[in-house]
Structure 1
Amino acid sequence: YFNTLLDDHQILVLCKLSPLVKRKEGSELFKQLLEILKFYAGFEIHDHTGLALTDDQMTELHCKKLMSLQHTAFKHFKDSLQLLALSNLSAIETREDLLRQKRLADDELNEYYDKDFLIEVLIAKFEKRTSQIDAINALPLYPDENALFDDAVVKTQFYSGDNPLALPKLNLQFLTIHDYLLRNFNLFRLESTYEIRQDIEDVVKRLAPRITYPSGRTEFTGWARMAIEIERFNIIEVSKPNLGEDKPSQVKADVTFNIGRYTDSIQNEWDSLRQHDVLFLLTIQAHDGTADKYRDDIPFRSHFGLKYVRGCEIVEIIGDDGKPIEEASKPNVEEKTKISGNLRTLRVLLDPNQYKVTC
């Protein structure tokens, strides 16, 4: 009966409208904990039996709530909320649709409650909840620059442990097997993101980006074994979305770089890249402060001018003739066809979810 107590006191709505949430600084942890509470308050289980509910059952419960709202609106507020009472369910299930229903006069509202508060209560109760499966499928496959360098989520090595973290716990009771898998999935994503962030920070520091004048271009005064400047980047194919989806089915791009500055051993390492290897593409725009010594109290992204981070997966290695090299997928480097020259072109798959959000 935890949800009954939450609904009776409207804890989620009161927390959302509290001054703490509106603060620009110092409220990140509270917002994250509030999102976790909101997620589990609407978890896909039956409130009385505790059994897991399917998407169809959750949709059925949602429709029953909306029909109950329409019956109440038609019975008690027929003149003010006639549009709400007579609309189809899909037209009143989103936050934007419910916000349009501000047609009640002041004398029809409870004098003890603010109108904005009642609207938020209405939205919290009747807004359609995103399916967990749909939410997971909409997640980007690779972390971007915002996920990597969000200190409220991904802590650095200087985290002292004095403050709690809004992380899913594995030593508590689980609601369903899906809840157990989801917590492990979220923890694995955070752990992978932390490791990727450490690698990117190490590489960018070694590259030592600097701005040059009068051209204003970014040049790299250092070098890193596993990082190289891109000569050309071209998106060659954006496939149409699959049926029922709003993201491209696949996004292909060609990445060209020059390995002439490296020794033979490092060139062999770059030539050993094969299908399904994962790369990260960085956009760095240095500024005047980038040449200064980096301090841990300065945000890493702003100091080095790291603008964008995108992940990709190698699907083909392109030869000098512009055709894929079939031998490039062999695990033995010595068996590969020798590529002449210093230019290398990789055909990669970008993340469709990230492409949809970016473009």
Structure 2
Amino acid sequence: MNEAIPQLLTYDEASLDRAFAAVAEEVRGGTSSLETSEAQEAFRLHWLGRKQGRLKLISEAWLKSAPAEARKPLGIRFNQLKQEIEAALQAPVAAAGAAVVRGIDITLPGTVRQPGIAHPLLETMQEIVRVFHHLGYSTNLGPQVETDFYNFEALNFPQNHPARDTQDTLQIADQGAKPSRDRLLMRTHTSPVQIRTMVAQAPPIRIVIPGKVHRNDAADATHSPIFHQVEGLCVDTNITFSDLKGTLDHAMKALFGSGVKTRFFPSFFPFTEPSADVQISCIFCGGKGCRKCKHSGWIELLGCGMVDPAVFASVTEERRKLGLDDDAYNPDRITGFAFGMGVERIAMIQHGISDIGQFYSGDMRFLEQFA
């Protein structure tokens, strides 16, 4: 036992109180000279030093050799002693701080804190969502880890569709024992939220779905394995392709200016029929033709189409399993349209950015341009 620490002969409450009271008195005796930073550091090392601090010596002399029944009351008093030492060290700091506060010239300008700003991708996504909010759409969200049913099967993707391949989809490990429809993956689009909404809610539906999606893509100037989409769904009676065209034409004008034009080309998506790709007149050259629009005068921006009746059939089957109204999505009286656009692509066009990787680089020099 270290000679600097008195030996404990008994461990009853009274003996412990006397022993720790003596040490606490020693601590208080040393606090009267803590007026300089050197004195405070010396006091800290004397009591809290990791190798030869007096608190460590007390621990070795009293705690380690104590019988089991005495360790709890010893530990309680030991922690109280440590807190008293730490409080003694903090008191001079607080007093010094108070002295500084009294010396502040309140007529001087305050410290200016630069406000944070939304990331350009988040700002663009919110701008798109606001456009559709003004048209009466509400926002719905869903999980990024999805089942095969919601991500593919209910959206009319056949089992052999290339999008299901591991080359295109990030699969969750150890899913082989599950039925194929229940296997988990990282969602490749925000379309599963369309299915989840229709399963849970009867028409009419008008929703916009912003969110992050994942694909097994190699990163380059225009591709990223993580990116963002905004999709929309409108389901009701008497919804036509003309409604879809008018909605998207209005949205593109709200995003890119009233002078922008839209045009639709036939396309194919498993979950819409008919389907279309949407182009806008080049915002850089006004449709005359330039390098950014590859001298065509048009920029391809998003995909859309009328909801395929096969999707309504999948929704109806799932609703029946849940005991819900099985005629809510009867394609004989219900129609709808859906659309989807990449947020990064729109942000790149709006801000003249040529490399998608800049959004994810964390380079403050790039991000500060949007402040």
TM-score (norm. length: structure 1): 0.24
TM-score (norm. length: structure 2): 0.23
- Larger Rg belongs to: 2
